[in-house]
Structure 1
Amino acid sequence: MTGDEYTEMVSGLDRLAVVPDGVLADVVTRDGLCFWAFDRADMPTVGGSGSPDRELAARLCAGCPVIDECLELDFRTAGENTVGVWGALPDTVRRALYPVWLRRRGGETR
């Protein structure tokens, strides 16, 4: 991905900048497909490591109505320390997007 593509992806989250964290969390947990499609104890794992199957999660996210809200919430709460799948993106992509998001919000990258 290019810097322009990162900027375009992150600019779609600008409308959520004024939404309080608690509201985002409520929306994601209420409407996020991953929160009601599986009982947490039944989530598939990879190699017995206990980590969610990222491919399955990414496919599940494809139809989720709160992908942007989920991604925004992850940037706010985990930032560069993100893991797993949030907003239909793997952690490696979100780590690359985070500094772009942070700059758009007036923050500095480390």
Structure 2
Amino acid sequence: MNLVEIAWGLDRLRWVPSAVLTEVVNRDGLCMWAFMDEPPWAGEELTDHELASRMCAGCPVRDECLELELRTAGADTVGVWGALPADERRELHWHWLQRGERAERRRS
């Protein structure tokens, strides 16, 4: 999936309040509870993309997590959110801003 498609896919979450996204990610995000102990890949040298793929594999709220991070951190994002490493999220942020009412608000 390319970044434009990802941005389009996140449009379904555009009206969900950030507080609700935060609650959902904190409650249901796999990384919030599954890795309390050392993760199975600890000690392996992984690229950011490999880490994001492993950490978020099977997470039921990847889109919600990604939407929340794009809203709150924008282009200043760091770490792993929504199964994407920071460099891909920074690139995605521009496409995300071009969608729907986000673009309209920026023009006003």
Please indicate, yes or no, whether the TM-score normalized by the shorter chain is above 0.5: yes
Aligned-CA RMSD value: 2.6
Q: Which residue of 1 aligns with 2:27?
A: 30
Q: Which residue of 2 aligns with 1:96?
A: 91
Q: Which residue of 2 aligns with 1:8?
A: 5
Whether contact under 8 Å (1:10, 1:100) holds in the other structure is yes
Whether contact under 8 Å (1:82, 1:95) holds in the other structure is yes
2: CA distance between counterparts of 1:45 and 1:84? Answer: 18
TM-score for the superposition, normalised by structure 1? 0.78
Q: Which 4+ runs in 1 deviate beyond 4 A?
A: 41-47
- 1:9 deviates by 1.2
Pick the aligned partner of 2:68 from 73, 91, 110.
73
- 1:45 deviates by 7.9
Amino acid at match of 1:18: W
Structure with more contact order per residue of length (Cα contacts < 8 Å, sep ≥ 6):
2
Distance of aligned partners of 1:56 and 1:7 in 2 relative to their CA distance in 1, 3 Å threshold: closer
Whether contact under 8 Å (1:74, 1:82) holds in the other structure is yes
Q: Where does the alignment leave 5 or more consecutive residues of structure 1 unmatched?
A: 48-52
Whether contact under 8 Å (1:10, 1:97) holds in the other structure is yes
Whether contact under 8 Å (1:6, 1:100) holds in the other structure is yes
Pick the aligned partner of 2:16 from 16, 19, 37.
19
Q: Where does the alignment leave 5 or more consecutive residues of structure 2 unmatched?
A: none
